[in-house]
């Protein structure tokens, strides 16, 4: 079988979907350590969680804070999330779409987020969804995983594989950073997943 290496990642201007509603523009600081992001050249992740079209959680986090956060999740949960991804991610179809997008030569990478990475559900059919991207300066990286969209259904499934300890950790993170949105209190299986 022929093995295709992922194509070189491309960088495009960060699209509006990854702007901060609060800033009415790009994210500027890391949520945790408050390091400056737009001009420092540090890689950082943006995550936004939507119910219908309303962002209920949004943040940017520098790479070192992302790694620190991930290391605080239980080993058991990290393994379960990896297993879930491996069994649900259709990497061949993702690569195909990535190549098709790259061939258009366009900056608009929304086609890479119009379906759930795991369930394949269309974005417009999702009541809840989470989007995530890796950025540097004002540029967003487009590669075999990111930017991604995860549907509410897949978020709930992912929550189902997390350990009690990890769920508690995420609840604390969300509560401390944003105040717990009522959507999460209504549905205990719907909390953002730190990728
Ligand atoms: Zn940070």
Contact between 151 and 117 under an 8 Å Cβ cutoff? The reply is no
pLDDT at residue 1 in the model: 44
Euclidean distance between CA atoms 136 and 154, whole angstroms: 27
With H, G, I as helix, E, B as strand and everything else as coil, classify residue 75: helix
- The span from the CA of 134 to the CA of 17, in Å, is 13
Instruction: Give the other-Cβ count within 10 Å of 140's Cβ.
Output: 23
Structural domain boundaries in the chain: 11-186
Does pLDDT of 4 surpass 60?
A: no
Other residues' Cβ atoms within 10 Å of the Cβ of residue 71? 9
Distance 39 CA to ligand 1 centre (A): 14
pLDDT digits (tens, 9 = 90+) for 33-72: 999 999 999 999 999 999 988 999 999 999 999 999 988 8
Using one digit for the tens of pLDDT, what is the confidence trace for 84-101? 999 999 888 889 889 999
Distance 65 CA to ligand 1 centre (A): 4
Residues, CB-to-ion distance under 5 Å, ligand 1: 30, 32-33, 35, 62, 65
With a threshold of 0.85, does the pTM exceed it?
Answer: yes
CA distance 86 to 119: 12
């Amino acid at each position: 079988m022929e093995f295709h290496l992922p194509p070189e990642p491309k960088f495009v201007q960060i699209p509006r979907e990854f702007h901060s509603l609060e800033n009415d523009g790009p994210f500027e600081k890391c949520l945790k350590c408050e390091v400056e992001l737009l001009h420092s050249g540090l890689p950082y992740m943006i995550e936004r969680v939507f119910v219908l079209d309303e962002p209920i959680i949004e943040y940017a986090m520098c790479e070192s804070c992302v790694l620190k956060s991930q290391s605080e999740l239980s080993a058991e949960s990290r393994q379960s999330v990896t297993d879930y991804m491996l069994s649900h991610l259709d990497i061949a179809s993702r690569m195909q779409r990535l190549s098709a997008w790259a061939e258009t030569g366009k900056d608009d990478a929304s086609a890479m987020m119009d379906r759930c990475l795991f369930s394949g559900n269309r974005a417009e059919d999702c009541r809840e969804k989470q989007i995530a991207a890796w950025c540097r300066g004002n540029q967003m990286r487009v590669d075999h995983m990111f930017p991604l969209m995860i549907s509410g259904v897949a978020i709930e499934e992912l929550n189902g594989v997390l350990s009690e300890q990890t769920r508690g950790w995420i609840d604390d993170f969300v509560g401390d950073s944003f105040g717990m949105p009522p959507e999460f209190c209504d549905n205990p299986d719907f909390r953002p997943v730190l990728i």
